[in-house]
Chains A and B, each alone.
Chain A
Amino acid sequence: MSDIHLDDAVLAALQDVMEDEYPILLDTFVADSEERLRLLHQAQAEDDAQGLRLAAHSFKGSCSNMGAVLLASLCKELEDAGRREALDLAPALIEQVEREFAIVRILFKSERQRYRL
């Protein structure tokens, strides 16, 4: 399943690198992403454009490493908005990020279960 949500080739490569630790990496990504989302909300609430930019930047980096292609590009839009201090764009983008992350999280959970079998 190679689609805009998760790149299968990337997942295969990760599995190859991480071997037994592959599921831990998946768990770590999910836990870390929840933290990034929390930081995004906090930055928005505090009108902190710089904080928004940094959180989005970091989130974007790990998404690209994990093959979450669409999520990475949404994070990039958010990062750009933060850099431009266009905070008015933030609520809509964060919502999109949250929706996409919900999908990615489900995909990773099933990936994790598939791996266990």
Chain B
Amino acid sequence: MSERLAILIAEDNAADRMLLSTIVSRQGHRVLTASNGLEAVALFEQERPHLVLMDALMPVMDGFEAARRIKDQAGEALVPIIFLTSLTEGEALVRCLEAGGDDFLAKPYNRVILEAKIGAMDRLRRLHDTVLQQRDLIALHNEHLLHEQRVAKAVFDKVAHSGCLDAPNIRYMQSPYALFNGDLLLAAYKPSGGMHVMLGDFTGHGLPAAIGAMPLAEVFYGMTAKGHALAEILREINAKLKRILPVGVFCCATLLNISSKRGLLEVWNGGLPDGYLLHGDGRPRQPLVSRHLPLGILEPAAFSDRCEVYPLAPGDRIFLLSDGVLEASDQHGQLFGEKRLLRLLEANRQPQALFEEIQQALVTFRGEQQDDVSMVQVGLAEDDERPRPLAFADSGQSSVMDWSASFEFRALSLRHFNPLPYLLQLLLDVQALRPRGGELYTVLAELYSNALEHGVMGLDSSLKQDASGFAEYYRERRLRLASLRDGYVRFHLQMLPEANGGRLIVQVEDSGPGFDPARVIDTADDALSGRGLALVRELSDGFSRCPDGRGVSVEFCWSAEA
């Protein structure tokens, strides 16, 4: 027995109306009756019956017009209309269908057929209802999903935009929803000047692909702001992703450390397509090849943070891309591939047109637009002398103001540990110093690398004259550092409160043989002469050398703000 329905009967003939309503109500349905089309429409509006039995020919308003109006009012809901008719001409039956009729019932009425037709129409009606409900449910779920993605993206954008993707030396192209393709592009200024850049590609799509981006970005920005080296950041990101991501989710990535001041590029590529170092002077491009497994796969002990180092000259730029470019396929399943990309790089004359040229080539190749392509070009920043504003994770409200401390980092520490983030974190607890975090870092980094490379290890920076000498210098630095047995670098820090602000005095000394201050004045090869010295002088509020040539002292002063 089907569900009890409300059925509207529109029939002008009183005897037929009476007969039909008796049959229908005997079958268990609630009956509403109308004796013409106009009454039927009004009654439908008022009672919203499930089904209508409609005579075609009626006075005042005929069944065709009434059917049209009822279908209009029913909107998306299916209200089946069965035309009651003894019309026999095909043309009249077509009119019934055109007016929105779903079936016919001929006179004289047959109870069995009538019941079967009502049952069939009810099944149709309920099927239609289910489809509508499920469509609405799907729409609701989809809306919900999009909302979640919007929230996730808004949160992520807050994190991601603490970086410097808008820097003048960076050009990038990415879909606004790249995050949900698993693509991730980050860039941040280092306290020492220069920047870290990362292009990443998480496995998978949607929220699962985006979720790992959040902690990764936090580590990338937090550690970059505190002055950690790229290798340390890589280790931390890998360890964190390994810890939090499920098996099978990982991040292919290329990380760049660009030191404009030193003219140096460090590259680590784990699983992304080759990037390219493109030279401004026409030398052949240098592929930046993947040498590692992606981030988040290896245990920390097995992970290698080994970067490749290249000299970087003005006019050089680095081009990175996601596999969306190479893996774009045409209608025949053929991949875009590296050869096509290299031809484009070869043919490119204007760096700023490269993305558009690649995009155009992809559209031509695939025959349609695609949105899972991420590309970035980074050049050497023109003015990189001044450290840029850094992004901190905490607010720095509580700080200790009156103290001194001395640190001695000995050979084993110097080999494996970069003391600068450690010291910087201590010093930047003082809120007044935060705006000068970059300057502080730059000065400490200059003094430290001078103490380590020239003082402790005795390296000669005159090697760094050309590209091969440059590579030689860094090879030598790596070798000497790895075999370092003795020596130290000491930092003496004094934080002094003063009447209207404070003063920080930093002394750096090393175990090296010292140098003759008189000699320093007229050589150009020492890091602390020329640009290095000028920079330290400019950024600090006081600079002096110890008489024995084995140490230097710098001061930073500040006055309390209102």
Contacts and interface: CB of A to CB of B under 8 A. Distances in A.
A54 B13 contact: no
B108 A64 contact: yes
A17 B27 CA distance: 10
B468 to A, nearest CB: 106
Interface in B465-496: none
Interface in A63-101: 64-67
B86 A61 contact: yes
A62 B14 CA distance: 9
A58 B14 contact: no
A58 B108 contact: no
A39 to B, nearest CB: 10
Nearest to A10: B108
Interface of A: 10, 13-14, 17-18, 21, 24-25, 28-29, 31-33, 54, 57-58, 60-62, 64-67
B86 A25 contact: no
Contacts of B111: 13, 17
Contacts of A64: 86, 107-108
Contacts of B14: 28, 31-32
A40 to B, nearest CB: 14
B15 A60 contact: no
A25 B23 CA distance: 12
A89 B15 CA distance: 28
Which 8 residue pairs are nearest across A and B when measured between Cβ atoms?
A29-B15, A64-B108, A61-B107, A32-B14, A65-B108, A62-B15, A28-B15, A62-B13
A71 B161 CA distance: 88
Nearest to A22: B22
9 contacts: A10-B108, A17-B19, A21-B22, A25-B22, A32-B14, A54-B59, A61-B13, A62-B13, A64-B108
A25 B21 CA distance: 11
A29 B15 CA distance: 5
A65 B23 CA distance: 12
A26 to B, nearest CB: 9
Nearest to B56: A57
Given A17-B22, A18-B22, A66 B12 contact: no
Contact of A61 (B16, B18, B26, B59): B16
Given A64-B86, A65-B107, A14 B19 contact: yes
Interface string B148-167: 00000000000000000000
Contacts of A65: 15-16, 19, 107-109
B26 A17 contact: yes
Nearest to A24: B18
Given A32-B13, A66-B15, A57 B57 contact: yes
Nearest to A31: B14
Contacts of B15: 25, 28-29, 32-33, 62, 65-66
Interface residues of B, number: 19
B64 to A, nearest CB: 13
Contacts of B26: 17
Contact of B57 (A13, A29, A54, A67): A54
Contacts of A17: 19, 22-23, 26, 111
Contacts of B23: 17
B165 to A, nearest CB: 78
A31 B15 CA distance: 9
A58 B13 contact: yes
A36 B107 CA distance: 17
A59 B376 CA distance: 83
Nearest to A13: B111
Interface string B86-108: 10000000000000000000011
B86 A18 contact: no
Nearest to B12: A58
A25 B107 CA distance: 16
Interface in B1-59: 12-16, 18-19, 22-23, 26, 55, 57, 59
Given A17-B111, A62-B13, A64-B107, A57 B86 contact: yes
A62 B12 CA distance: 10
Contacts of A58: 12-13, 57
B400 to A, nearest CB: 99
Contact of B86 (A24, A32, A60): A60
Contacts of A33: 15
B19 A18 contact: yes
A112 B457 CA distance: 127
A58 B19 CA distance: 14
Contacts of B55: 61
Nearest to A36: B13
Contact of A62 (B16, B57, B59): B16
Contacts of A32: 13-15
Nearest to A30: B15
Given A54-B57, A60-B86, A28 B18 contact: yes
Contacts of B108: 10, 64-65, 67
Contacts of B59: 54
Interface in B399-422: none
Interface string B55-69: 101010000000000
Contacts of A62: 13, 15-16, 107
A58 B55 CA distance: 10
A34 B76 CA distance: 43
Among B12, B16, B84, B111, find the residue whose CB has the most chain A CB atoms closer than 10 A: B16
Contacts of A54: 57, 59
A18 B18 CA distance: 9
A60 B111 CA distance: 19
B134 to A, nearest CB: 39
Contacts of B107: 60-62, 64-65
A32 B12 CA distance: 10
Contacts of A10: 108
A92 B18 CA distance: 31
